[in-house]
């Protein structure tokens, strides 16, 4: 996986064998990576953290506390995060970053059709979760309630039902390539957020009622050795 970008420094590293997977140890030439995102274990930056940790790819996990965001905003190319800095080049757009990191981590399909199925799911989740995120900025409680109830009755249900249909069409376990890919990480985090109960006016049992197969998928991904090991290490660290 040698990238050909003349004049850009590369770091040589030895990828560890993940305890959960089948990767063999292999020496690789890999870019130096830094993920910059908010300091919580979720959101648009989290699939990248999961994928890089699962694959044992070293990276700097730069976590910006929400209270300090104003001081950092102007150094981001589009005044938003996540930003993945690759050998000094600041890359934006979470799904673009997910595809790149998915390729590095072996969590993105090589087959073009499977890749587009993976992309479709990632973009659908991005679309609907952007609409959920945008309600967080609504200060007026009545307006927030109205916006979230409208989302629950329409876009959220439509997306959850469609995602469950995709899952069933694709064998019922994973969204692309018959194995865990970046699409599964994105759906896992979306479902975890919806079921967490922290989103007032979006019922925490919505997914369970509307798309129970996505709950089974959530548990499958949560219990994946690479993911449970990562979150155990986060629990120990915090
Ligand atoms: N289209 C961008 C959206 C990035 C975005 O809006 N990120 C949020 C955090 S998840 C952000 O930086 N919000 C802070 C702000 O806009 O001030 C992407 O896909 O990465």
Q: Which atom of ligand 1 is nearest to the CA of 45?
A: 10
Ligand 1 centroid – CA 97 distance (Å): 13
Ligand 1 centroid – CA 64 distance (Å): 13
The domains of the chain, with CATH numbers, are 11-105 (3.40.30.10), 112-224 (1.20.1050.10)
Residue of 42, 77, 80 best suited for mutating to test ligand 1, as the one with most atoms within 8 Å of CB: 80
**Residue closest by Cα to atom 17 of ligand 1:** 80
Ligand 1 centroid – CA 129 distance (Å): 11
CB 81 less than 6 A from any atom of ligand 1: yes
CA 103 to chain centre: 14
**Residue closest by Cα to atom 12 of ligand 1:** 80
Ligand 1 centroid – CA 168 distance (Å): 31
Q: How far apart are CA 108 and CA 1, in angstroms?
A: 14
pLDDT of residue 1: 38
What is the DSSP code string of 166-183?
Answer: HHHHTTSS-SBTTB--HH
To which H or E segment does residue 190 belong? helix 182-195
CB 94 less than 6 A from any atom of ligand 1: yes
pLDDT of residue 29: 65
CB 44 less than 6 A from any atom of ligand 1: yes
CB 229 less than 6 A from any atom of ligand 1: no
Q: How far apart are CA 112 and CA 141, in angstroms?
A: 45
Q: Give Cα separations from 122 to 72, 88, 92, 106, 144 (angstroms).
A: 27, 26, 16, 16, 26
Ligand 1 centroid – CA 6 distance (Å): 30
Q: Taking a C-beta distance cutoff of 8 angstroms, is the pair 66, 73 a contact?
A: no
Q: Give pLDDT tens digits along the chain (238 positions).
A: 334 333 333 333 334 444 444 443 443 468 999 999 999 999 999 999 999 999 999 999 999 999 999 999 999 999 999 999 999 999 999 999 999 999 999 999 999 999 999 999 999 999 999 999 999 999 999 999 999 999 999 999 999 999 999 999 999 999 999 999 999 999 999 999 999 999 999 999 999 999 999 999 999 999 999 999 999 999 998 8
pLDDT of residue 163: 98
pTM above 0.85, yes or no: yes
CB 193 less than 6 A from any atom of ligand 1: no
pLDDT of residue 62: 98
**Residue closest by Cα to atom 13 of ligand 1:** 80
């Amino acid at each position: 996986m040698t990238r050909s970008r003349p004049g850009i420094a590369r770091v040589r590293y030895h990828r560890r064998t993940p305890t959960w997977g089948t990767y063999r140890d292999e020496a690789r030439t890999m870019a130096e990576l830094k993920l910059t995102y908010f300091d919580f274990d979720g959101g648009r930056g989290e699939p990248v953290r999961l994928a890089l940790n699962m694959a044992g790819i070293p990276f700097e996990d730069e976590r910006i506390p929400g209270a300090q965001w104003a001081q950092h905003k102007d150094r981001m190319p589009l005044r938003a995060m996540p930003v993945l800095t690759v050998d000094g080049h600041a890359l934006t757009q979470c799904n673009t970053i997910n595809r790149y990191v998915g390729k590095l981590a072996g969590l993105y399909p090589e087959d073009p059709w499977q890749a587009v199925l993976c992309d479709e799911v990632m973009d659908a989740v991005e679309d609907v979760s952007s609409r959920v995120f945008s309600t967080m900025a609504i200060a007026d409680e009545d307006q927030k309630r109205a916006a979230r109830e409208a989302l629950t009755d329409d876009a959220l249900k439509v997306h959850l039902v469609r995602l469950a249909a995709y899952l069933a069409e694709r064998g019922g376990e994973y969204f692309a390539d018959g194995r865990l890919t970046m699409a599964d990480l994105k759906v896992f985090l979306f479902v975890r957020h919806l079921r967490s109960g922290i989103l007032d006016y979006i019922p925490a049992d919505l997914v369970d009622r509307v798309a129970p197969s996505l709950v089974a998928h959530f548990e499958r991904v949560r219990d994946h050795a690479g993911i449970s090991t990562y979150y155990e290490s986060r629990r120990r660290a915090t």
